[in-house]
């Protein structure tokens, strides 16, 4: 009875033996539906063959036996997930003792995906990477790229590379070509800029306009390009120049000396484009994004502490006779509370009473403790991103491409069909020779009958 229920499983060349009722413990899985009619069953050896990882299968078979799924530490996490998916098991059934070790690869994959999106590579990409970026990977492997598909990445790289000519000309940006005494949001004396500055500014912005148009035409994805923060900054800065130029022309014709000066400050936003070509700035920005929850929590506690200590110092200064009381309202105390909590301490407003000094001391101590709390989390996120970025930079380029299963099967099936056809033709010829009856002299029977009828 035991021999009839015994099952032999050959996984990756390693034979495992168990009982059929053990495999039935977890229904709706691959092992629970084993039958001799399957293609991977060998009736000669009386075993089922699976070309899968034998080390992971030991843990899977142990899961059927004990009901506890443990994670092998000598196997990478994605490989373990692929094996579980093949055998029809759920990865959430991993035991709590192995869960932290098992889920580490998910954090690593998420970090690497973020670093991959930052595009930190300084080396020029390969042709395969360019085709993948533009979504032409299949056309590249089949060698069917059109002329447009070959030219478009080159033009895009010409305007997107950091060493592209005229790319840093926005550092020469200036908007001092206007002559006026009074401006909205600015108070400065009458100045006369050199007229050449206007022409330099005009040439730069014309180049930025041409560059923006060309990049929008040759970009890999227009929707992603338009939604990019750097593109939005480019559009705003370039539009601000033309709007300011038009307004200045109109106001000069009307005889007014009032113009909009703050539009020229928008051009300063072009400095954010430096983040596109410096990996350190990208990692720093991504660190703040990864620490967004901690930063929001910090802002919440700081605002809460500011309001509380502003009210406390207001009532503390009114508790005694104080002729030099600077806290006339709680709103005025908000400024003092913010400066004290941030440990800046301008000294423009100070409490004069003893109770107010106690409140100020507690406010400063609370500021030190509150601001110091999220710092380790931010440092940890930055260290994690930076270490992964450095490790990724040391990795070699893409190794030999492994063919997919659908790319291999047609060739193998063609060879197998050719061999099978040759075997069938040879066996049919042999059967025809054996089945044709011969007479005593070795001649075929129908030739012998024809000779008898002729006689």
For the chain, domain boundaries: 2-102, 163-276, 292-373
Strands 259-260 and 41-42: unpaired
Buried b (16+ CB within 10 A) or exposed e, 181-204: eebeeeeeeeeeeeeeebeebeeb
If we measure between CA atoms, which residue out of 195, 200, 188, 197 comes closest to residue 257? 188
Position 4 scores a pLDDT of 66
Give every CB contact of residue 298 below 8 A, 6+ residues apart in sequence.
Answer: 370, 371, 373, 374
395: left (phi over 0), alpha (psi -120 to 50) or beta: beta
- Find the DSSP H helices in 69-103: 77-87, 96-102
If we measure between CA atoms, which residue out of 91, 25, 96 comes closest to residue 64? 25
Position 309 scores a pLDDT of 92
pTM recorded for the entire structure: 0.50
Backbone angles phi, psi at 108, to 5 degrees: -65, -40
| 366-369 contact pairs (CB < 8 A, 24+) | 366/305, 366/309, 366/341, 367/302, 367/305, 367/340, 367/341, 367/342, 367/343, 368/343
Give the Cα separation of 332 and 57 in Å (integer).
70
Give every CB contact of residue 186 below 8 A, 6+ residues apart in sequence.
Answer: 261, 262
Sign of CA pseudo-dihedral 136, 141, 142, 145:
positive
Residues 216/234, Cβ–Cβ less than 8 Å: no
Give the Cα separation of 204 and 193 in Å (integer).
17
If we measure between CA atoms, which residue out of 234, 265, 241 comes closest to residue 167? 234
Give the Cα separation of 340 and 343 in Å (integer).
5
Strands 41-42 and 47-50: antiparallel
- For domain 2-102, the CATH class is alpha beta
In tens digits, the chain (455 residues) has pLDDT values of 466 688 999 999 999 999 988 888 888 889 988 888 888 899 898 899 999 999 999 999 999 998 899 998 888 888 999 999 999 998 888 888 888 888 888 888 887 777 777 766 656 677 777 777 787 877 777 778 888 888 887 777 777 664 444 443 443 343 333 433 344 444 445 556 677 877 888 888 888 888 888 888 888 888 888 888 888 888 888 888 888 888 777 766 665 544 555 666 777 777 777 766 677 778 888 888 888 888 888 889 899 999 999 999 888 888 877 778 888 888 888 999 999 988 888 888 888 888 889 999 999 998 888 888 888 888 888 888 888 777 777 666 655 555 555 565 554 444 444 454 444 445 544 444 444 444 434 444 444 444 444 44
Neighbour-count burial of 87, counting CB atoms closer than 10 A to its CB (0-12 exposed, 13-18 middle, 19+ buried): buried
- For domain 292-373, the CATH class is mainly alpha
Position 385 scores a pLDDT of 82
Structure tokens belonging to residue 338 = 């913010």
Residue 225's SS3 state is helix
């Amino acid at each position: 009875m035991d021999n009839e229920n015994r099952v032999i499983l050959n996984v990756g060349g390693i034979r495992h033996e168990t009982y059929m009722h053990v495999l039935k413990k977890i229904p709706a899985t691959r092992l629970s539906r084993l039958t001799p009619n399957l293609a991977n069953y060998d009736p000669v050896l009386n075993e089922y063959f699976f070309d899968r990882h034998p080390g992971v299968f030991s843990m899977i078979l142990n899961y059927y036996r004990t009901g506890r799924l443990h994670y092998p530490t000598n196997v990478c996490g994605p490989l373990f997930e692929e094996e579980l998916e093949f055998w029809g098991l759920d990865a959430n059934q991993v035991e709590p003792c192995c869960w932290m070790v098992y889920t580490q690869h998910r954090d690593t994959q998420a970090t690497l995906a973020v670093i991959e999106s930052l595009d930190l590579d300084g080396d020029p990409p390969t042709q395969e990477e360019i085709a993948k970026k533009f979504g032409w990977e299949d056309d590249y492997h089949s060698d069917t790229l059109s002329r447009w598909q070959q030219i478009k990445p080159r033009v895009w790289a010409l305007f997107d590379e950091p060493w592209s000519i005229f790319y840093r000309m926005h550092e020469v940006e200036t908007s001092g070509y206007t002559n006026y005494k009074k401006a909205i949001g600015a108070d400065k004396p009458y100045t006369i800029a050199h007229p050449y500055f206007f022409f330099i500014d005009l040439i730069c912005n014309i180049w930025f306009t041409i560059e923006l148009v060309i990049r929008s035409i040759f970009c890999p994805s227009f929707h992603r390009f338009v939604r990019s923060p750097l593109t939005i900054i480019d559009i705003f800065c370039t539009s601000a120049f033309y709007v300011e130029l038009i307004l200045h022309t109109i106001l000069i014709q009307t005889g007014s000396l009032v113009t909009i000066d703050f539009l020229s400050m928008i051009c300063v936003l072009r400095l954010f484009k430096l983040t596109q070509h410096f990996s350190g700035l990208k990692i720093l920005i991504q660190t703040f994004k990864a620490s967004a929850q901690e930063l929001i929590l910090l802002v919440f506690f700081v605002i809460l502490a500011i309001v509380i200590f502003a009210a406390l110092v207001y009532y503390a200064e009114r508790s005694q006779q104080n002729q030099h009381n600077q806290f006339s309202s709680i709103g005025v105390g908000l400024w003092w509370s913010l400066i004290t909590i941030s440990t800046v301490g301008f000294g423009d407003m100070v409490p004069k009473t003893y109770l107010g000094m106690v409140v100020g001391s507690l406010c400063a101590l609370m500021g030190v403790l509150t601001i110091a709390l999220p710092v380790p989390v931010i440092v940890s996120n930055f260290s994690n991103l930076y270490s992964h970025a450095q490790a990724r930079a040391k990795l070699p380029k893409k190794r030999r491409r492994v063919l997919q299963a659908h790319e291999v099967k047609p060739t193998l099936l063609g060879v197998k069909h050719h061999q099978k056809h040759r075997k069938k033709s040879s066996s049919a010829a042999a059967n025809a020779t054996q089945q044709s009856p011969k007479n005593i002299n070795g001649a075929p029977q129908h030739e012998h009958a024809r000779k008898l009828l002729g006689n």
